[in-house]
Structure 1
């Protein structure tokens, strides 16, 4: 015979309603009571009937996560680290995470539509939002709770967790300028991603502040794994080339530096490089990469935390949460010899 809430209540010495509140993570239940109930559940081998609970509460205790479409983007360690933060927060709050991925925009829209109409999740997190993102329009149309990891270019009233990517790129570029570099290029990601636009804007602002011209031919757009080859080929074909680069992502920087070496250029002796994200491998590469630490784990954790606050009915007066960043200077950036 299966164990019931009444059995757990009897073993813990509390009422069945108290057990229900513990299962629902009610904030007014004391830690001592929670501990007693959890111990009784474990001793009796009790597992809550999630399906029955969701029918009563109209809550699935599940968060939907829309992963990036490109497999190459998802293999980037950024996503595993941000996911680690998301799962940690969700587990603490008693939520599961349902991940969705698709190979095309229509498939992505259909997947999210199924989540919404099927009430499979209580809310959704969109990672790496894009310009004029139709997923945002779909969620707004259905008045469905969601949070962006990143920001919307079109609206500033949406719940989002982000870095100040304009300032981060400004700081990275200014570091190279302080090292005496006046010929500085930029390697970007997909042009429809908001983060690409913001970091390019920060790069432009730093050049303008230093009185340096912006040269479009020194801005290179590249996808993740092919970035190094394309960017280096473009650079080597120009009569005058940069002595330093701001690269939008550590993984792109790895490929870029490898191709520089194959072209006979050394980092940082011939070309300095600064990138973003501070994934673990950036410190272990040769040379260690100068990078902007954006707090990847905390981005993930805070995004889920914000969505759960929304689902709990909390009035959120600050829809945009901006986490701090810091520049970490390592071996890939050095002073320009002629400076």
Structure 2
């Protein structure tokens, strides 16, 4: 094979490694074992592959730019959550002389992959991403090894890299425990699409609280729908009217708005007739009648922790093992329970 026809993918295939690993070996951007390095160098020799020296020269210069990809939906007020994370990131970047480029995947894997490819060509120094894919293997060939990456909020299966996450399971558990201690047993769980780690973790916390209090889990009290106001409204109606739920735990902000909208419209007294706890804490939740109890996430801190970890990797790319930091939630007790 001539050197004009061989590519980094050909080298990766010949060496039985990922393209990311080949790039790490060429650019010396992360630790790679001697055995793997030798395999890559041997494959490069056999294929007469020559790295693009111009691209390597460009990569050696810092752009002082960090990318951020978040999955915000037009219908979902979780935009506030991710914007708070972005604020935490940008505050520190500005102090360090960096710039932030924000992209939105709209919860679509293809768009997310396209954004990553654009960042690969922009010579960014690092990337922070709240992923949409369920399995980390879906990222291995597209994420460039030329820069460090920190995952936030969601943890795909098989992920063992740098990440900042929130203990959503415990947050949900504490909320359900509080409702049980108030005497509720018919507690409904309203959630957006399952399959996303944050939603799955919150459901696990719900189920664990029931089991620990020796209560049977009724699958009819678990309502799943799209993350929208209307879905929250419709599920609250169904669970209160048909399933006689006396309490609602709503696992995301926009569905909380919909559920509360239904209760208010029907003049259902909160918490006397139906109690409710939401997830995430926003100003509007403090001025409802009554004020809404919530599980509060440290969104700004997620951004701070993520960017500090990323900057450490940028400045010392070969130092230290991957870190996964789990932040705690806080159950904010208000008059809705």
TM bin, normalised by shorter chain, reads 0.7 to 0.9
2:331 to 320, 327, 333: 327
Q: 1:288-332: CA deviations, max 9, x gaps?
A: 111122211111111111111111125344611112222110011
2:77–2:253 Cα contact (<8 Å) kept? no
Mapped to 1, the partners of 2:229 and 2:173 lie a distance apart of: 25
- Contact 1:130-1:194 at 8 Å conserved across structures: no
Q: Which residue of 2 aligns with 1:113?
A: 117
Deviation at 1:75, TM superposition (A): 5.9
SS of the equivalent of 1:275 reads strand
Alpha-carbon deviation of 1:249? 2.1
For the Cα contact (< 8 Å) 1:129–1:148, is it kept in 2?
no
Contact 1:69 1:101 in 2 (8 A): yes
Q: In structure 1, what is the Cα distance between the partners aligned to 2:209 and 2:113?
A: 38
Looking at structure 1, the residues matched to 114 and 79 of structure 2 have their Cα atoms a distance apart, in angstroms, of 25
Aligned to 1:271: 274
**Displacement, 1:141?**
6.8
* Correspondence 1:1-339 to 2 at 5 A: 55=58, 57-73=60-76, 76-102=79-105, 104-116=108-120, 118-127=121-130, 129-132=132-135, 136-140=139-143, 142=145, 144-222=147-225, 223-238=227-242, 240-313=243-316, 315-317=319-321, 319-333=323-337
Contact 2:162 2:324 in 1 (8 A): yes
Q: Given that residues 268 and 331 in structure 1 are in contact (C-alpha distance below 8 angstroms), is that contact kept between their aligned partners in structure 2? A: yes
Residue 14 of structure 1 is matched in structure 2 by none
On the 8 A contact 1:146/1:307 being kept in 2, the answer is: yes
Unaligned 5+ runs, structure 2? 1-56
| Farther off after superposition, 243-252 or 123-132 | 123-132
Look up the SS of the partner of 2:75 in the other structure. helix
Partner Cα separation in structure 1 for residue 59 and residue 251 of structure 2? 47
Q: 2: CA distance between counterparts of 1:59 and 1:101? A: 24
Q: What is the root-mean-square deviation in Å for CA atoms of aligned residues?
A: 2.3
Moved more, 196-205 or 294-303: 294-303
Q: Distance in 2 between matches of 1:138 and 1:262?
A: 50
Listed one character per residue, the Cα deviations across residues 118-155 of structure 1 (whole Å, up to 9, x for unaligned) are 14312111125442267633455757421111242412
CA–CA distance in 2 between the matches of 1:175 and 1:127?
Answer: 30
1:165-186 Cα shifts (integer Å, max 9, x gaps): 1111111110101111111110
- Partner SS, residue 273 of structure 2: coil
Mapped to 2, the partners of 1:111 and 1:156 lie a distance apart of: 20
Unmatched runs of 5 consecutive residues or more in structure 1: 1-53, 334-339
